[in-house]
Structure 1
């Protein structure tokens, strides 16, 4: 009998069962030679007949209990290497971009350099909004006068004043918008080209780099205007000719024909705006002429037309929603103030200021957003079709090694640097 203080019992093989290795019994190896009898933890032969294949046991879970490598998770198998994340020195990862990357990169563009991006956008938006606001304010002033004196609008001079104020202000606003948005797009594209590598450009530096490309930018916008306007003029003339040769009871036919023409023109408009969506970024970043840039844009969009169209349409929808949310309160307040204030000079000025403030606030955010999406979508198409991400990654590694972003990064956008032409 043992009183609990005697020596530990011995196993049949002579090892101590209570002491840790190397004094305790050797653990059974998970590996057994083919045909060899299995051993129990204490060295006793197993009951499995000699020469029969070993039974496969289910893994007991992660760790050394698993009878065969590689062990299950969380330990990866032998030779497994997780994919390396893409380099991201700036606003986007240097790999082909998804929709989320493009939208996130555009927001990061605005946040990384708000002084240059939002400042220039505010100036451009204000210049475009003021003529339209003034024209609308005069229209509201005329409408307010007609409420107090209905006979004033019956005169020819009153009608001409209202029409001139409305359409004259709109026309001037479109002309100003044509100029300032073209220049703004060029400057923002140059800022974006540097922001991809994590660098910042001031408004003055960006303008110094872009001013030599201004004629080509206006060339692209002018050619796009011709492409868009000429078919519209032809459609209007056709509708007028048909209306002149159809009897008075054929109004339904004229309306149906006009509807079909407008549907066809909408498809035409979307097709060419998508095909030439990258022309302005190409002019600025690649230094090409207007016609060459449009040809290059057509080539880049080929093979991914529907994706580019979808992203551009989604961007337009988002921009329209944001612009409406920001501008509608100001426009509504200015309209009500102008119509109900009695037509005084002060009411006209206040109404114009409110309408201009709403238009400026909305455009200040929508202009850079559209330019940013177009520029990043252009970069994505080059990564996908020309392996341009390899060029950007190599340059980013060199930039990180040197510890700063220098102006040579701007030259990387030239098509001669593409890994796959």
Structure 2
């Protein structure tokens, strides 16, 4: 056809379609902003690579820091959050176990749980026999010690007694320190007298031979020989004891034909104090101690009975410039006592502990009921009285 197109319509249409497709797929030249960003990223990568190589040069691998921001789901921040959550779950699991244990302890032993609370000491709530020993007594107690359960045995003769937490033997008698004179009596002289007072208590109440009825020679030798009448009465009581002149008010003695001491320990609790005397040149020592003796019938009896003896000894210390006295001896000013769980002395010179059979056979006492472990109370002239004890 002259002047017309020589290309058929179908061929032209296909040509146009192919040209459009090729134009869409052809590479585009990046814009100036795109080229700037790409160059900056490439520079950062090269800088991190150089830093990594420099670190390895000194034998230390330095990881390259990523230039891209951390993803909120895939980056370390998300991992740390997961780690904290795992730790919280672990902590709550441990707390749950501890809470379960605490509930079990409270259910099985409420007294132990109460001892964890502020002010819930075992001493005030009733201590177990396995509790730690009591601290030394430094002042007059405010009341009787708490009651404890259990019966004494030959292996554990102090079970069920507050004495289970007391110190034993001569070491329980602590001599206080004196730093100044009292009523004109030097500190050195008072310190010497304190030591002699302890020796007298030990010789009178802890010497094993004396406990089995031997003559308390050491104790007698500690008394100032100038106290002739007093010493004469003591020796007479030991040779010919009577109800009125009973040596057990001064010396602890048991009849070895009837009873035997259980174990090797005697529990002791008390204190020594120093006070001014009545006159210038006089100081007074006051020793107040309770001794607990576990006993069984002679010949291997199984039942254990405890006798509690409280001694209050007052010793005067003199200024030698004003008063006569013998060096190395004590001047006994007064001596009081209380013997608990005893068959109300019949004048034979021995303490006679009561066992269950004795308690059933003897009539009820009409005397006052006392707690022999209550060191908060005074003796009030207990010597010569027979009463009932609330516990042994």
TM-score (norm 1): 0.26
Question: Higher relative CO (CA 8 A, sep ≥ 6), structure 1 or 2?
Answer: 1
Greater percentage in strand: 2
Higher helix fraction (1 or 2)? 1
Q: Which has the larger radius of gyration?
A: 2
